[in-house]
Amino acid sequence: MTTTAPPADTPTDALTATPFVAVTMGDGAGVGPEVVVGALVQPEIAALCRPVVIGDAQRLRAAAEILGVDAEIVPVESVEDAVFAPGRVNVIDLGLLPADLPWGKLSPVAGHAAYEYIRVASELAMEGRVQAICTAPLNKEALHAGGHVFPGHTELLAHLTGTEEVSMMLNSPRIRVIHVTTHIGLIDAVAKIEPGLVERTVRRGHEALQRAGIPAPRIAVCGINPHAGENGLFGYGEEEEKIVPAIERLQADGIDARGPLPADTVFFVAGRGDYDLVVAMYHDQGHGPVKVLGIEAGVNITVGLPVIRTSVDHGTAFDIAGTGKVEVGSMVEALRQAAQMAPSPGA
């Protein structure tokens, strides 16, 4: 992999106007170190933001060697100490991983380290020292084994920032999906869905799309049952009870939300451009179509936090970790979207 330097005549004030992004390394036994290094040496990233990794310098150097990337991994004490130059990767080095940590094997040590990376990044964001967080994947089992029982990044970030309720949005080249419920069982998800939660989820998605430059988002809201219940034929009236009242309130406020719509067709029409956002009622209803339509370029955005947070839309990929085979496109896109949505420093 080769890189080219940004134009030499790029004004200094143009760089200082770009946001600082805290990039968490994720689970060090997975592909996180590789996707971080591989993405940060891309010239387009240098023009968009000022990334600072929260992770382990030694592991990043190992990843650079595996990828065959000529990258200078430089530990820094703080975001403010970072210097940005072609091929340089700044890292706040927490030094939590042993040098002999195996690639591709579940590790409680790596799980705890991944938690600490997120904790430090959250503190930096809440202090206003970075304008966004971009996360490499963690492993939920390793996170739990390391003593931190959270379903995933979304819930962990909500806890660390003191946020009561957030939503997961998946953004792919063809469709965007926001979830009313995520990491709970299907029976629990149906029980949890209620008009207030549906309404708040749609409003968070509407606001996020407006911030991303879509002034009047067209939003499709999925039903829960097959064919969205088909007028009571399937289910027990969940659509009328749990979804319709929310849509009526949203429409009364001028939000273009339509539904409940059958999930087996709505993703097709959204993919051809009829809708800007699909509201999925539960995890697999939304994740399946997004991953079929392009997981490599997908981005996970946590909506509702007091800070911008984006992530790759793939896991730790233990089966290829440490081999140099991982694609970095999703991380590049996650950084691009973090930079796009983040406020300017001092704003």
pLDDT, tens only, 124-179: 999 999 999 999 999 999 999 999 999 888 889 999 999 999 999 998 878 999 99
Q: Are 21 and 338 in contact (CB under 8 A)?
A: yes
Interacting residues of 170 by C-beta distance below 8 A, sequence separation 6+: 176, 177, 178, 179, 286, 287, 290, 298, 299, 300, 301, 313
Could you tell me which of 95, 108, 105, 90 has the C-alpha nearest to residue 59? 95
SS3 37: helix
Which of these ranges, 28-37, 85-94, 110-119, 170-179, has the smallest mean pLDDT?
170-179
pTM of the model: 0.82
Average pLDDT, the chain: 91
Q: Which residues 6+ apart lie within 8 Å of 329 measured at CB?
A: 296, 297
Rounded Cα distance between 340 and 213, Å, is 10
**Distance (Å, rounded) from C-alpha 238 to C-alpha 198?**
12
Instruction: Classify strands 50-55 and 299-303 as parallel, antiparallel or unpaired.
Output: unpaired
Q: Mean pLDDT, to the nearest integer, of 56-76?
A: 97
3-state SS class at 16 = helix
pLDDT per residue as tens digits for the range 41-56:
999 999 999 999 999 9
Report which of 149, 161, 140, 163 is spatially closest to residue 283, judged by C-alpha positions: 140
Looking at the domain that runs over 174-293, which CATH code has it been given? Answer: 3.40.718.10
DSSP 345: T
Say how many Å lie between the first and final Cα of the chain, rounded.
36
Stretch 313-324: mean pLDDT, rounded? 94
Of the pLDDT bands very low, low, confident and very high (cuts 50, 70, 90), residue 212 is confident
Task: State how far the Cα of 194 lies from the Cα of 200, in Å rounded to an integer.
Answer: 10
Residue range 13-27, pLDDT digits in tens: 556 789 999 999 999
In 3D, which of 92, 130, 161, 127 has the Cα closest to residue 345? 130
CATH 3.40.718.10 placement within the chain: 1-171+302-347, 174-293
**Which single residue is written with the structure tokens 């407006």?**
210
pLDDT of residue 4: 38
Residue 5 has pLDDT above 60, yes or no: no
> With bands split at pLDDT 50, 70 and 90, how would you rate the model's confidence at 2?
very low
Torsion of CA 328, 330, 336, 339, to 10 degrees: -110
Which pLDDT does position 147 carry in this prediction?
97
Q: How far apart are CA 113 and CA 163, in angstroms?
A: 22
CATH number of this structure's domain 1-171+302-347, picked from the four choices 3.40.1800.10, 2.60.40.420, 3.40.50.970, 3.40.718.10 = 3.40.718.10
